[in-house]
Amino acid sequence: MQADTALRERYDKLQKVVQHHRYLYYVLEQPEIADSAYDELEQELVRIEHEHPEWVTPSSPTQRVGGEAQTAFKKVTHVVPQWSFNDAFTPEDMREFDARVKRGLKVERVEYTCELKIDGLKVVLTYKHGVLETAATRGDGVVGEDVTHNVRTIPTVPLRLERDIDCIVEGEVWMSEKALAKVNHEREKNDEPVFANPRNAAAGSIRQLDPKVAASRGLDTFIYDVAQTSDDLPQTQAAELQYLKELGFKVNPHFKLFDSIDGVIEYWKEWQRKNKSQGYWIDGVVVKVNDRTQQDTLGYTGKAPRFAIAFKFPAEQVTTVVEDIVLQVGRTGVLTPVAHLRPVLVAGSVVSRATLHNEDEIRRLDVRVGDTVVLQKAGDVIPDIVRVLTDLRTGKEKKYQWPSKVAECGGDGSIERIEGQAAWRCVYKDSFAQLRRKFRHFASRSALNIEGLGPSTVDALLEANMIQQYDDFFTLKEGDLLQLEGFADVSAKKLVESIKKVADGIPLARLLTGLSIPQVGEETALLLARQYKTIDDVMSAKEDELQTINGIGDVVAREIVQWFALTDNKHLVMRLKKVLQIKNPDYEYPRVTLGEDAAASERNTRSQKPLFGKTFVLTGTMASMSRDEAKEKLRKLGADVSSSVSQKTYAVVAGEEAGSKLDKAIELGVTVLTEQDFLALLTKHH
């Protein structure tokens, strides 16, 4: 009997300790003990419950997944009506909201609480004497569905509160992008349809009949509102969030107080830039009058509170109409179909163009002139057409016919499909359209980086016949430039000095990038500069030799050899050597030997670098440095930098407004580094 009493005391304490460490790990993300230690405590709890099942209560930490699969969801009538928010989309909308609030309160200044609006599924949790009794969906605001059996499986939902009170709280169930990638990977393996986004996945998981399935989905929560409590209700929204934390709930840490609507708008702008950085979807900012007495004074309309509003981020997916499809000639002669759209506001900017990539993509989408389409912009400069809304077709839409000739290609306008690719290109290589793009690229930031030589100046020089080859840039005089509209003595002198500065020392990699060799971008150019000392060495390289370089395949090797084999290109390089001092700071290592030992030889030479063998991908913008500076720092530490994400990628560095590369990294489970993480990595290996 005495042994049972001691064991019961041990059991009661274990419940509290295990629950405490669950809270530290899942809610505060500040574990105090190792996972293995926590596992031992939980296993001991399980063993005692196995011996004494009569002691087990619904609030035990072991009871998150329990019971049989449900056959249906019971209806739950909400004790407190579940309101929805009115929406605001622009700063002007918010100023109007602010004016209404001040009129309603008859005051000149109001304090607002701003909270991130998590894109998940709303849940209402009811506790009796501190124990979770029910969890329900919002439903229609009056009646929801009982999803207690699934919500119990979420580690951040306390089964017992820190105080034995009665309360009803509201929050959001969400799924991280990383968890979504894992779930969709499993669904693909099982030939099941994948979830379109984390919100759909969270909703689908909460409505699983079997709680074991919900438990496997990696769901999480943020609780943000106290609808009812047996305690005295906190008098401000900020105090309410602190109260929720003290009860044991997970509260989003990024809320902030402002005493003016200008501060609210700046907060919205800040998170509009940062909304991809948290691993969960954020679709706006919830703005509430902070003072509860003022909230009660303002009250509610028929469907929404007057004291709060959802300040939505600009839409990243909209609909518009395709007005035309036009072929655009690139600098290497490749033809890109571009959809001309009815102008539409997407992700904060007006868009009237979208790339269709190639002929195969047009066929896959079956996009036609006159179609209504879904347009998506998620970090990329040029948005994509996601799909066609065929149900809106009238029969007047026109299928796009791929032409046999394109006048902008020059010559007789002939085009050809590139062998083994979905792309078409001009047969004639020297049309004005191609020349303009080539010359713009040659002077651009990613190539020779000639300051002041922007696209409009390049076009003006070409149209005035002042340049016909790349080397002509380096023979320009101030008097030549003064003939162009917009140039005066100072600006002409400044551009000539900028051109001379580049001519006095251009890195080999930048020159190779600027030459518009097919398949040779910044990364391939750097691989070549690392392998070869001079441009003459690159010119004389054989196809099989180039293929021994890690990162250069047979297609790229063939394009390089073919480009340098052309007499015109050989002459161009000879002329550039006369006007440029070509340096090679990337030539840090001796040229590798050919044959089976080539890769091993390079590894032995570079293996002393701390990040050797690791491939990084950069996406978005960083406040502390440019992308080129970040690449340079990584290469000095022995790392490789790639332009695409794959299973071989070591890490993706995600700055502000990170785009599809971040999505790909999350999908593949590749490590994602924030700017702070990246700076810490550089400091560690400095």
Q: Which residues are catalytic?
A: 117
CB 105 within 8 A of CB 156: no
Closest C-alpha among 17, 9, 16 to residue 33: 17
Q: How far apart are CA 117 and CA 313, in angstroms?
A: 10
Cα within 13 Å of Cα(584), Cβ side: 20
Q: Return all residues near 414 (Cβ < 8 A) that are at least 6 apart.
A: 404, 405, 426, 427, 428
- The encoded tokens of residue 539 equal 């010119």
The DSSP bridge pattern shows strands 121-128 and 167-175 to be: antiparallel
Collapsing DSSP to helix, strand or coil, 645 comes out as: coil
For residue 606, the 8-state DSSP code is H
Strands (E), 230-281: 256-258
CB 514 within 8 A of CB 505: no
- The encoded tokens of residue 31 equal 């574990």
CB 648 within 8 A of CB 615: yes
Torsion of CA 619, 621, 626, 631, to 10 degrees: -20
For residue 81, the 8-state DSSP code is -
SS (H, E, C) 6-35: HHHHHHHHHHHHHHHHHHHHHHCCCCCCCH
Collapsing DSSP to helix, strand or coil, 239 comes out as: helix
Beta carbons within 10 angstroms of residue 48's beta carbon:
19
Closest C-alpha among 513, 491, 511, 492 to residue 502: 511
Collapsing DSSP to helix, strand or coil, 572 comes out as: helix
- The encoded tokens of residue 338 equal 């571009």
b/e code 193-217 from CB counts within 10 Å (16+ = b): eebeebbebbbbbbebeebeebbbb
CA angle 551, 552, 558 (to 5 degrees): 170
Phi and psi at 204, nearest 5°, equal -65, -35
Q: Which residue is associated with the tokens 């950069």?
A: 618
Q: How far apart are CA 223 and CA 649, in angstroms?
A: 36
Closest C-alpha among 141, 147, 155 to residue 125: 147
